[in-house]
Each structure stands twice: as C-alpha cells, then as structure tokens.
Amino acid sequence: MARLAAFDMDGTLLMPDHHLGEKTLSTLARLRERDITLTFATGRHALEMQHILGALSLDAYLITGNGTRVHSLEGELLHRDDLPADVAELVLYQQWDTRASMHIFNDDGWFTGKEIPALLQAFVYSGFRYQIIDVKKMPLGSVTKICFCGDHDDLTRLQIQLYEALGERAHLCFSATDCLEVLPVGCNKGAALTVLTQHLGLSLRDCMAFGDAMNDREMLGSVGSGFIMGNAMPQLRAELPHLPVIGHCRKSGCLSLFDALAGLSTSTLFPRIMRSLPAPGNCPVFLR
C-alpha cells in the first residue's frame, strides 16, 4: 500500500473553477485517517498554499514553485533551489521576441510588470495576486523561477530562444499549454519529492502521484504508482505511455476510485482495484 500520495493542484485536485470540492476534501481526510502522508506538488507559491492549508485545516507537506521549495507539515523549509543570479539577469533583461507576459517569483511573492486581470481568475479561491514592479529593478539573488504566459505557439518559439541563450544553465518546462517556466537546473517535482521522501524515511516506491502537465513528468515517472489525468497534456501521455490515464478534473463529483484507494487496508487490494479500472474515458476523476 502506498504510504504517500502526491497531488498536482491545477487540472488535478482543483476543479476547473479553481476550487477544491467537498468530496475531494472528504477523501483527502480519509487518506490521512489511513496514515497516508499527503503532499501537494504544485507550481503555485508557498505563501498561497500555506494560506489554503490553514483555511481548510489540511495536514500536508508542500512542494511548491515546481520543486523550488519543500515545506514540512509545520511550515519548516526543508529544501530550496533558486535560479543563479546571472541566469535571472539574462532572462529579465534580454529583449525576447515574444508577446508573452513575464512573471517573477521569490519568497516574497509573485511579481510582474503590468496588470493582467485575466490571470487572477485562477486565484479567486485563495485571493493570491501579483505585485506590479519594474522588472529591471528586481533583486537577482533570490529569484526562484520566471514564467512566461501567452499563446502556446508563441511560447514554443520563445522556448527555442531561451534554449539558445541559456544552454544547460536552466530547466525549461511547460506547466500548462499557456505557461513556460524557467527553473533552476535539476529542479522539478520529482527531484523535490525525492528530497521529501528521504526526509521521511520513505522511498519513491512507497508513493503514488497524480498530475496532468509536463511539470509533473518526473514525479509521475519516478513513483511506485503514477496516474495521468484524463485532461492531461498530450505530450505527457506520449512520454509516459505505460501509466494509467484516469478521469478528468471537471468530474470531481465522481471520486469512486479515489474513495476506494482511501479505504484500502491491505497492500493486496491495490493491484486488484487497478485491474478493475474502467476504460480511461469512463474512469472516475481524480484531481490535478
């Protein structure tokens, strides 16, 4: 039986309107009652996630910023990873051929150069929002990640520019079709989960994980049981073809598989339940 469950947020745990459903919260509580350690592995900021955990009285470890930070149940910082100052400077100061907006993150919050109200729709549940700054005056020594948001084709062209400029000095990934992230080398949810499992005295084989985007790839591919959401990016499915595809995040009222996992009492039941899964198109939803 899995001893730790790691969940992506957007597109997995969160419904399309960016909130956690009551049945989801109830099932998470049942997992905790079975002594399964909960971990939320997300691109969202630690400040936002700590607020959400407190508001909902959730007992969970946090992997935030797509692996740049790991926090304990008590909020203790277990791991941090920042962009090198010269990499942050290049990304912030270079004139990129793109229409995408740029967003900078550090421990103090989320920063951008202009108002983009549409982006705040994903944060209505928590109230978290950006701060407007002159990006050229951003302190370079504490940047955790830099994101570009825009049209996918435009971001794909930008990705090529970034690769050419940065080489192996940063890790680039799509956390969504409309969001390209610049992260420290070797920084991803899978690497962060490795740090956390070592802290807890577990192995990755003891973990199950759920996700939908390319920023979930390393995590899903490294755990004992990885599950891909039905609404996942096609590239993720293509790169992890051996993993089961489960339900869509919009169907959070249909959590029968998740409920079954929450009720497991022996390790022998898990393979039996997995063999009984319906076809991917009919499978109950899980969470992103």
Q: Enumerate the active-site residues.
A: 8
Give, as one character, the DSSP assignment of residue 156. H
CB contact set of 122 (below 8 Å; sequence gap of 6+) = 10, 18
Q: What separation in angstroms does the CA of 208 have from each of 82, 211, 258, 279, 280?
A: 27, 11, 12, 20, 18
**Nearest-angstrom CA–CA distance, 148 and 288:** 21
Query: Could you tell me if 172 and 162 are in contact, meaning their C-beta atoms sit under 8 angstroms apart?
Result: yes
Q: What separation in angstroms does the CA of 145 have from each of 82, 89, 114, 180, 209?
A: 7, 12, 18, 11, 23
Query: What residue ranges in 8-130 does DSSP mark as E strands?
Result: 37-41, 61-64, 69-71, 77-80, 101-106, 109-112
The region that residue 75 occupies, defined by phi over 0 for left and psi between -120 and 50 for alpha, beta otherwise, is: left
**Nearest-angstrom CA–CA distance, 184 and 171:** 6
Helix-helix angle 85-93:152-166, to 10 degrees: 130
Angle among Cα 156, 119, 149 to the nearest 5 degrees reads: 15
Please name which of 175, 124, 126 lies closest in space to residue 148, comparing C-alpha atoms.
175
**Nearest-angstrom CA–CA distance, 238 and 149:** 23
Run of H or E residues at 193: helix 189-200
